[in-house]
Amino acid sequence: MSRRVIGIVMNGVTGRMGYRQHLVRSILAIREQGGLPLGDGEVLWPEPILVGRSAHKLKEIADRHGLTHWTTDLDEALAHPLAEIYFDAQLTQVREQSIRRAVAAGKHIYTEKPTAESLDAALELARLARDAGVRNGAVQDKLFLPGLLKLKRLVDSGFFGRILSVRGEFGYWVFEGDWQEAQRPSWNYRAEDGGGMVLDMFPHWRYVLDGIVAPVRSVYAHTTTHIPARVDEQGRSYRATADDAAYGIFELEGGITAQINSSWAVRVDRDELVEFQVDGTEGSAVAGLRECRFQHRAATPKPVWNPDLAATESFREQWQRVPDNAEFDNGFKVQWELFLRHVVTGSEYRWDLLEGAKGVQLAELGLRSAREGRRLDVPDLAL
């Protein structure tokens, strides 16, 4: 076995996503499994080079996990002799400048979504990466979740017949921060800091719909701020200037209607924090993060509307589970492995910065639709 070391500059590892999903559950998990096999007896060994604003937080993370490379200076990290990839899980607002510096330093780019705050900036980053000849990718983790992989299996098998509609429910109660601490960072609720439901979740809905059902062709969104004041990490109250809920209707290619509610001010009466129901002429399915249930046309009950009688059957018991049929790894890790292979072997990789820009496009159009109160077309993007 020969070991090929690849240095990854990881920015934002003190944050929720950067630490838990990317550093611990992806990169360190790849090391724990002995590296990433490349074939021909070669193993890829990711070496994190942590970068951020707080020396003591970085040192603490490095010590906890036995890592040796960390710095508060981005240029120093990019100049590290092992560094080949730059990864960004910072606050969205500060991402663009860091990615620009990494591209200029010739690094391959992998980044959290949204890839930038505006479509122009997202496209510019994709162009810069293309022109510099560096490989690039944007996180689209939901595509690699067991529940959505099972849904994709149903779509690919032709199970649905003609797909008619998609209805998505996403959300949970995010505490206001006064009598119970909020479970999300306060910047998420401030527009001036790049927060907001649309900017956060529409990039996900774009690749989920495009990648599993059909390309998104138009958007109508109604947004609101249900909770106008919250309390931040320091216990200070602040005004929530960003949308905390978005009610979106999307037209997809082939005349499919998708409707997705996204809210941080809703209490969960679902099996999972996100669920998508897909209805087709031949059958329907409900997919969450892990599970996917389906009902075939031949097993569809025939309820008759009669408010005078109690329901005589349990509708939820009339669905079957899609079996696992495979081992499902962490979705973030699966995508990291595909990206790392792409970087070192040139294997196919579809989820690049242009795909990431499509997510920013849908968020931007969604916000504009909400402001103007009208439906907007989603034009094709090209570099």
Ligand X SMILES: NC(=O)c1ccc[n+]([C@@H]2O[C@H](COP(=O)([O-])OP(=O)(O)OC[C@H]3O[C@@H](n4cnc5c(N)ncnc54)[C@H](O)[C@@H]3O)[C@@H](O)[C@H]2O)c1
Residue ranges in contact with ligand X by CB under 6 A: 12, 14-18, 52-53, 89-92, 94, 112-113, 139, 141, 185, 200
Beta carbon nearer to ligand X, 89 or 362? 89
Least Cα distance to 324 among 364, 291, 360 occurs for 291
Nearest-approach distance from CB 211 to ligand X, in angstroms: 14
Q: Which residue minimizes CB distance to ligand X?
A: 15
DSSP state of 158: T
Nearest-approach distance from CB 41 to ligand X, in angstroms: 34
Beta carbon nearer to ligand X, 45 or 175? 175
Beta carbon nearer to ligand X, 119 or 154? 119
E strand or H helix at 9 = strand 2-11
E strand or H helix at 38 = strand 36-39
Q: b/e per residue, 358-383, with b = 16+ CB within 10 A?
A: bbbbbbbbbbebbeeeeebebeeeee
Beta carbon nearer to ligand X, 18 or 46? 18
Nearest-approach distance from CB 327 to ligand X, in angstroms: 22
Beta carbon nearer to ligand X, 203 or 280? 203
Nearest-approach distance from CB 333 to ligand X, in angstroms: 13
Least Cα distance to 373 among 205, 192, 223 occurs for 223
Beta carbon nearer to ligand X, 16 or 236? 16
Is residue 122 within 8 A of residue 357, CB to CB? The reply is yes
DSSP state of 265: B
Question: Sign of torsion, CA 343 142 232 95?
Answer: positive
Nearest-approach distance from CB 92 to ligand X, in angstroms: 4
**In a 3-state reduction of DSSP, which class is residue 372?**
helix
Beta carbon nearer to ligand X, 52 or 248? 52
Least Cα distance to 23 among 354, 330, 355 occurs for 330
Is residue 240 within 8 A of residue 259, CB to CB? The reply is no
Nearest-approach distance from CB 54 to ligand X, in angstroms: 7
Encoding tokens for residue 232? 């931040």
Q: Enumerate residues 6+ apart whose C-beta is below 8 A from 175.
A: 181, 182, 183
